[in-house]
Chains A and B, each alone.
Chain A
Amino acid sequence: MFSKIILRGASKVAVLSVLVAIVWFAGDRAAHAEYGDVVINNYSDKIGMRPAVFPHWFHRIRFRCSVCHADLGFKFKAGGNLINMEKIMNGEFCGACHNGEVAWSIENCAMCHSGTPGTPTQIHNSTAQRLVAPAYKAPGAK
């Protein structure tokens, strides 16, 4: 009986310390967002819209990279395409598909403008974001 109580107490303490360790190590250093998601906030914050979040993985399941990055002219750079709603309405960039024909139409504002306000333009979980120190340069390299 006595040993059972001790065992129960000890296992509780053990479980608790494991939990504490998990919270400690996973806490604020953790990255959450899905790998490759792009936050586009060139203008959104200034206009009072939520930044747009582009889920790369979702589109990759349905289209080869070349459809957007060759045929539609999306540059390989987060925020580098300077997309705005006028261009989208004219059928450029997202508007090439998000027109009610290939994919849902742009009156569904909240589907893209879904980012937390203040989130800067970025690619989530990128290798560059996760570097501990700046990229290595060989001695004498410019």
Chain B
Amino acid sequence: MRMNGKLFSCFSLSLVLFLASSVAQAAAAQVDPMNQLNVNLKKVATDNPDAAKDGSHDATNEGTLVLQAPKAAFGAFVKSDFGNRVDWVQTLRSGKINPRADRLDPNAELDTVDFNIHRPVKGFMPDVIFPHKQHTEWLKCQNCHDSIFIPQKGANKISMADILQGKKCGVCHGKVAFPVKTSTCKKCHSQKKDTAALIKKLSAQ
């Protein structure tokens, strides 16, 4: 009797699974591809692919297979869930990498500065706090000043459209430093506002 019960539950489970999968398949066959989920989503299929499979390298070129594979290099690095999947700032601070600050001198160091710039922004977006520290651990002042940013508070007009088009912060962010996407907004827009007061103010208008 117990055996029969087991058999029955097994049978009904398989029936449900079978029906569910065939219903899903039938549904997928009927829905026009244009109406499928995420038609516009440009998904990264493989993180850190080898050079031979990354879509830009020619696998038939003799040198391609000699190149170091990103995955082999990144093994012990601090992880993130965007860009290279590497948190470069934390990886540098952890000592897992020790990139030279000079082409020839392995002991050269960069002059880091540690002060933040507060940039008020409109609406409900949290204000931007720009930290000089992380940036000067990698870069020299002249990399940004004055060609990209005027070194004067409030003198730089920055918009997200500029950044997305590769200007201002977008010279690096979105290309080689962490990209612009939902999960990274708060890395820059990090100072929360009094949203209740803002709602009150906007509702009174």
The answer to whether B14 touches A39, judged by C-beta atoms less than 8 angstroms apart, is: no
User: Is A137's beta carbon under 8 Å from chain B?
Assistant: yes
The answer to whether A114 touches B21, judged by C-beta atoms less than 8 angstroms apart, is: no
In the complex, residue of chain A having the shortest beta-carbon distance to the beta carbon of B136: A66
Q: How far is B17's CA from A35's CA once the two chains are assembled, in angstroms?
A: 39
In the assembled complex, which residues on chain B have CB atoms less than 8 Å from the CB atom of A55? 51, 67, 70
Q: Return B80 CB to nearest CB of chain A, in Å.
A: 11
In the assembled complex, which residues on chain A have CB atoms less than 8 Å from the CB atom of B66? 110-111
In the assembled complex, which residues on chain B have CB atoms less than 8 Å from the CB atom of A35? 83-84, 176, 179
Q: Which of A65, A125, A135 contacts B44 (CB 8 A)?
A: A125
The answer to whether B164 touches A115, judged by C-beta atoms less than 8 angstroms apart, is: no
User: Is B34's beta carbon under 8 Å from chain A?
Assistant: no
The answer to whether B63 touches A36, judged by C-beta atoms less than 8 angstroms apart, is: no
Q: Which residue, B36, B56, B100, has most C-beta atoms of chain A within 10 A?
A: B56
In the assembled complex, which residues on chain B have CB atoms less than 8 Å from the CB atom of A36? 83-84, 175-176
In the assembled complex, which residues on chain A have CB atoms less than 8 Å from the CB atom of B102? 67, 71
Q: How many residues of A contact B (CB 8 A)?
A: 73
The answer to whether B55 touches A61, judged by C-beta atoms less than 8 angstroms apart, is: no
The answer to whether A65 touches B143, judged by C-beta atoms less than 8 angstroms apart, is: yes
User: Residues on A close to B: CB < 8 A?
Assistant: 2-4, 6-7, 9-11, 13-14, 17, 20-21, 24-26, 29-37, 39, 50, 53, 55-58, 60-67, 69-72, 76, 96-97, 102, 108-117, 119, 123-132, 135-137, 141
User: Residues on B close to A: CB < 8 A?
Assistant: 7, 10-11, 13-15, 17-18, 20-22, 24-25, 28, 36-38, 40-46, 48-49, 51, 53-58, 61-64, 66-68, 70, 73-74, 83-84, 86, 88, 97, 99-104, 110, 137-140, 142-143, 148, 160-161, 164-166, 170-176, 179-181
**Additional A-B contacts beyond A31-B45, A55-B51 (7; CB < 8 A):** A3-B10, A13-B21, A26-B43, A36-B84, A124-B55, A125-B44, A126-B179
